[in-house]
Chain A
Amino acid sequence: MREISYSEAVRESMSQMMREDEDVYILGEDIGVYGGAFGVTSGMIDEFGPERVRITPISEAAISGCAVGSAMTGMRPILEIQFSDFVVIAMDNIVNQAAKMRYMFGGKAKVPMVVRLPSGSGAGFAAQHSQSLEAWMTHIPGLKVVQPSNAYDAKGLLAAAIKDDNPVMFYEHKMLYNVKSEVPEELYEIPLGVADIKREGKDVTIIATGLMVNRALEAAEQLAAEGIDVEVIDPRTLVPLDEKAILQSVKKTGRVLVAYEAVKRNGFGTEIVSLIAESDAFDYLDAPILRLGGAEAPIPYNPELEKAAIPQVHDIYQKCLELLNR
């Protein structure tokens, strides 16, 4: 099968959905000839024109509210927030409006919108352009939260997100944009709420999200050389969460590492650990659950410090050995 990059997969998904459904449009800053800060929307304005690829002023509060307002009245907006960090300026519209509207109105409204959020560190953009704040969103009832780790998932999950009638926060990772994998040409959906076993194994389960899925797979490869058989679970969507897939794997291996890039304290992995601790899978554990997350610090600029701020392949490798008392 042909290989395309994560960013091409996101673009292809949006374009195919826009061809299929007239109500789908995208809005955001610099998404026209510039192609967005990461080139994800490159060329889309040529095909769809400025009506459906709407370049906005630098006004996150207005454009997010506008997306909500158009969604509740029949459109299906895709809002590109240039760097996920800037979503904080859009937060009122997402948290107080989009997320609660259906509930507050007694089920009489729906807000079918997708907010695309390039996130994560590794590019040297420092503290205000490198955060992973997805856990904030998972705390808000009414929002769905998606975090694809490869091009195939990105395409299928985005299609499902656009078709979903709820507000969906779609976290893309900057360091994955250029990573290629096999992606079918035709449009397909990956249902929200279905985890993927990225690698099967019997000794240790790593539950990883976003970029950490890729790092866990690398670590698993190295551990295999030492005779350690690692299973890697990628939840793919944080809300809704595929609890069953996670617990099944825990029961199978009895040893669990949860790895995520966001600040460790109260990152989404904390929720996964609680889920396991509260479940019947707890009885199957042969070792305490371990967690790897980002340093409890803002993301620094210096490349060495920046690296030290989030888990690396070697950290994952080490933690797995620790789980096995090696």
Chain B
Amino acid sequence: MSNQLKGVSNQLINELNLEKHDLTKMMYDMILIRKFEENLKQLYQQGKIHGTMHLCIGQEATAVGACFPLTKEDKITSTHRGHGHSIAKGTDVNKMVAELLGKVTGYCKGKGGSMHIADMEVGNLGANGIVAAGLPLGTGAALTSQMKKLGYVVLCFFGDGATNEGAFHESLNLASVWNLPIVFFCENNLYGMSGSIKEMTNIESIAVRGASYGIPSETIDGNDILEVIKATTAAVERARHNNGPTLIEANTYRWEGHSRSDARKYRTREEEKEWKKSNDPIERFKTVLLENGIITEDDFAELNEKAIKQIQDAVEFAESSESPSLDTLMTDIYV
């Protein structure tokens, strides 16, 4: 890791004044997300997962950092690459694995799979199979908060690729003119499937798009969880105090292919290696925590072991769960 990257975080950890308990919890959640995804990869290879899935390895800091300032009442909308968002918002890992294995104990009773995990109880309004669909939904959820004076804030996750959909532009404009309590959080991982964002847009950053709609915007280092926390905390406060939406562009990188069938011909192995080697969000956070005496190597090893165990338990729970009965095909279509 470069000294420059470290410098920023060491300054931020003092500035943000976070509790040891919270920092450790966030470290744990990041590890848990990575272990979760690594396990899914294995389960997929063993033929236990049907269909496809989109892993977020390498993007743990955006998920965990962006959810940190949110309360349980606050809501998120997520994407096809949503496992990290779910875990960070407090979605139960057991029920997530169960869903991926198509079991009745899963979040969607086995009917949704990876792309549709949702948990209304913790304010997770759902992953989504339609790119950019979460933005208008989130805008509507923010409208409810405003109209009913509920005080909650909505944070919409979406990718760089989603910002070329009309839904992105229309949602930002609407949220702005209605001054809604919402944070638009873009995980810019440089690619939308095979489309490099450099080739799919003609602008320097996604954040400049906020200006078209009168929305304050910034670009941050999405692999530095402390920077993510700082930016989202400010945006959530702005929303909570009726000061309207914010657009955050967090730069990051997806380590794996887009989905399970991706030969990654549109990018180089060198580029991947470089991100993994010198810009791993988990390694970066760990280093800051170690250097500031917040955790020790032993603590980290313990967190790692605990996460591995939690995932093992989740897989066991899922594998020993029942499949849905065939008559559930026709249930839950209408209220």
Interfacial residues, chain A to chain B (CB-CB below 8 A) = 29-30, 32-34, 37, 55, 57-62, 85-86, 89, 123-129, 295-298, 300-306, 308-309
Contacts and interface: CB of A to CB of B under 8 A. Distances in A.
B164 A58 contact: yes
Contacts of B166: 59, 61-62, 89
Nearest to A59: B164
Contacts of A128: 115-116, 128-130
Interface of B: 50-52, 99, 102-103, 108, 110-113, 115-116, 128-132, 161-162, 164-166, 192-195, 199-201, 262, 265-266, 323-324, 326, 328-330, 333
A190 to B, nearest CB: 31
B129 A30 contact: no
Nearest to B53: A124
B225 to A, nearest CB: 27
Given A86-B130, A89-B130, A297-B330, 9 more contacts: A57-B192, A58-B165, A61-B165, A61-B166, A125-B52, A126-B115, A296-B330, A305-B111, A305-B329
Contact of B116 (A62, A295, A301, A303): A301
A30 B50 contact: no
Given A126-B51, A300-B111, A295 B194 contact: no
Nearest to A125: B51
B329 A303 contact: no
B116 A127 contact: yes
Given A297-B330, A301-B102, A126 B164 contact: no
A309 B329 contact: yes
B164 A305 contact: no
Contacts of B201: 57
B326 A305 contact: yes
A296 B334 CA distance: 11
Contacts of A304: 102, 323-324, 326
B329 to A, nearest CB: 5
B115 A57 contact: no
A301 B164 contact: no
Contacts of B108: 301
A58 B192 contact: yes
Q: Is chain A's interface secondary structure helix, strand, loop, or mixed overall?
A: loop
Contacts of A29: 193, 195
A124 B52 contact: yes
B216 to A, nearest CB: 25
Contacts of A309: 329
Given A301-B112, A301-B113, A305-B324, A124 B195 contact: no
22 contacts: A29-B193, A30-B193, A30-B194, A34-B262, A34-B266, A55-B199, A59-B165, A124-B51, A125-B115, A126-B129, A128-B115, A128-B129, A295-B329, A296-B333, A297-B329, A298-B333, A303-B102, A304-B102, A304-B323, A304-B326, A305-B111, A306-B50
A320 B128 CA distance: 40
Given A124-B52, A295-B329, A57 B195 contact: yes
B48 to A, nearest CB: 11
B193 to A, nearest CB: 5
Contacts of A302: 50, 102-103, 110-111, 323-324
Given A125-B52, A303-B102, A34 B110 contact: no
Contact of A34 (B193, B200, B326): B193
B195 A30 contact: yes
Nearest to A38: B261
A85 B193 CA distance: 17
Nearest to B159: A58
In the complex, which of the residues A55, A86, A295, A301 has the most CB atoms of chain B within 10 Å of its own CB atom? A301
Nearest to A60: B165
A301 B131 contact: no
Contacts of A55: 194-195, 199
Contact of B326 (A37, A61, A85, A308): A308
B130 A33 contact: no
